[in-house]
Structure formats: structure tokens, C-alpha cells
Amino acid sequence: KSLVTLNNIKKVFFTDDVETHALNEINLSINKGEYLSITGPSGCGKSTLLSLLGLLDTSTAGTYQLAGHEASDLSRDERAKIRNKEIGFIFQAFNLISDLSVAENVELPLTYRSDITKSQRAEMVKDALEKVDMQHRANHFPSQLSGGQQQRVAVARAIAGNPSIILADEPTGNLDSKNAQVVMSLLDRLHDQGATICMVTHDPRSAARAGRTIEVFDGKIVSDQLTEKSQAVV
Ligand code: ADP
Ligand code: ADP
């Protein structure tokens, strides 16, 4: 069942007198439960694609359906509402808020949701921290954690609201190889438990963990391949 459908998506950036065609005729469908990696050289449009998928930006042309919503033609507020419910983000630089505790960081996106009560929030934060094995650090602050631990908290924040899809932008880009392994294993486990994941990565070893890899070049999808998971380098 298709969770995400992009049809003929184009994105043009207009800056002064320069037009940048960041995405051209992107057609992509992602099924529920898929683990997809997006690869390609710097500047090819990966981040732009992830921003559109995450409803952080809108396309210049084309249509986008996400989890039953017609997402291409929404106001900023409507986009934010769908984003808060349907999407979990993981960033390269963790993006935790330094003066909030671990638990408060995980709770923050949930506070924007009118469909969740305060006591439900507490339960969801606890569950998410347990899933990433960081419950013992709930009252710590980000600066008191290692990079790998901070990213595990960021993963908890992304999954706490039971999103339809997890979007990860170079999630291991700031980690040493040991912590990168831990975070990749965490994503593997979430996928095994049914999560849909879409991850931008430069790292071929990370890309090989996903069941499907698309390669973007010059704003176009130039290959779309199922990965043999057994070939993944461990
Ligand atoms: P990648 O993530 O693959 O490195 P991006 O999606 O960031 O690539 O960028 C694709 C192209 O769009 C690049 O040429 C980039 O310079 C341009 N671009 C990205 N964001 C903007 C923006 N906000 N304004 C103008 N041009 C942009
Ligand atoms: P890693 O090898 O994963 O990078 P670190 O050497 O950064 O780990 O941290 C090792 C342990 O020390 C971790 O459990 C972390 O929580 C703890 N730690 C790191 N920095 C601080 C800090 N500023 N205050 C308290 N504990 C810290």
C-alpha cells in the first residue's frame, strides 16, 4: 500500500536573477513498511526532496499524497498539522534543544498535537526513550550526553508520536563508526517493527542497510533498486 506518492514534482528556486532547477519530474512512491535510502552527489537535490517529503517546503509543480492526505496544495498551518502527526525527523546535527532535558526534547513535538493529552504524552515519551535505551538519561541535558546518545534521543523524539514515516538526513554523518553502527542498528530494529523510513546518506554502508536505494543526479531519480539485505556490509 502506497504511503507516499510524488507525481511529476518540480522544484525551482528563484534567487535574484538565478533560477535553480533543484528537482525535475520526480515520480516516487513509497510503500508502508519500506526502508528507502536516497543517495547522490552534493547539490543533486536530496535535501530538497526530503524537505518536500517532510512538508517543510512546497513544490513548484506536481502533486504529493501522504498517508491519505492531498499534501501538495495546503496552507502553511495545514502542512504543520499533518507534519506533526505523520512525520518524524532525524537530522545529522541531532538538533536537540540544549536547555531542555532529554524527556522535554522528546516531548516537545507532541505538545503541538491537540489529539494527545498530557498524561498520554508522558507515556509516549517513556515508551520512546525505552525503545532507544535512553530512559536512564531522561533528566539529563544534551551537553551531558555523547554524540551517539544524543542521536538516540533524537530518534526517540522522531518516533514518539508514532509517525507514518521517519525522514532521516545523514543520521550518522556526525558520529564515529561505533556510534554510527548503534544508530543504524536502531533504525534496522524500528524497520523490523514496521516503521517506514526514508534516509538521505552519503555512506554506502548505511545505504546498504535499506531495502531499496534511489540515486538522485541533477534533480532526477536516475536509479531505483531493491537492495539485497544480505549483501549489506556489517
Ligand atoms: P543535496 O542535498 O543533494 O546536496 P540540495 O537539495 O541541498 O542538494 O540542493 C539542490 C540544488 O538546489 C543545489 O543547486 C542548491 O544550490 C539549490 N538550493 C537548495 N536550496 C536552495 C535555496 N533555499 N535557495 C536557492 N537554491 C537552493
Ligand atoms: P562516546 O564514546 O559514545 O563518544 P563519550 O566519551 O562522549 O562517549 O561519553 C562517555 C560517557 O560519558 C557517556 O555515557 C556520556 O553520557 C558521559 N558523558 C559525556 N559527556 C558528559 C558530560 N559533559 N557530563 C556528564 N556525562 C557525560
Condensed to tens digits (0 to 9), the pLDDT of residues 31-87 reads 999 999 999 999 999 999 999 999 999 999 999 999 999 998 899 999 999 999 999
pLDDT of residue 158: 98
pLDDT tens for 87-102 read: 999 999 999 999 999 9
Cα–Cα distance, 154 to 139 (Å, whole number): 15
What 8-state DSSP symbol labels residue 155? H
Output the pLDDT for position 180: 94
Cβ proximity of 214 and 38 under 8 Å = yes
Q: Pick from 98, 102, 146 the residue to mutate for probing ligand 2's pocket: most ligand atoms within 8 Å of its CB.
A: 146
Rounded to an integer, what distance in angstroms lies between the CA atom of residue 46 and that of residue 50? Answer: 6
Helix or strand run (H / E) with residue 35? strand 35-39
| pLDDT given at position 229 | 61
- pLDDT band with cut points at 50, 70 and 90 for residue 233: very low
Alpha carbon distance 216, 222 (integer Å): 6
Which cell numbers hold the place of 62? 506536481
What's the pLDDT score for residue 204? 87
Report whether pLDDT(234) > 60.
Answer: no
Q: Given the DSSP bridges, would you call strands 220-226 and 212-217 parallel, antiparallel or unpaired? A: antiparallel
Mean pLDDT of 201-218: 93
Indicate which residue's Cα is closest to atom 26 of ligand 1: 13
End-to-end C-alpha distance for the chain, whole angstroms: 30
Closest-CA residue to 64 (of 56, 75, 52, 76): 52
Distances (CA, A) of 224 to 25, 76, 201, 216: 15, 31, 15, 9
* More confident position, 179 or 231: 179
The one-letter amino acid at 229: K
Q: Is 213 in the pocket of ligand 1 (CB under 6 A)?
A: no
- Of 53, 38, 66, nearest to 199 by C-alpha is 38
| Residue pLDDT, tens place only, 117-175 | 999 999 999 999 999 999 999 999 999 999 999 999 999 999 999 999 999 999 999 99
194 burial type by CB count under 10 A (0-12 exposed, 13-18 middle, 19+ buried): exposed
Residue 210 has pLDDT above 70, yes or no: yes
For residue 145, which atom of ligand 2 is closest to its CA?
16
Complex prediction ipTM: 0.73
Ligand 2: list residues with CB < 6 Å: 143-149, 179
Residues of the chain with pLDDT > 90: what percent? 92
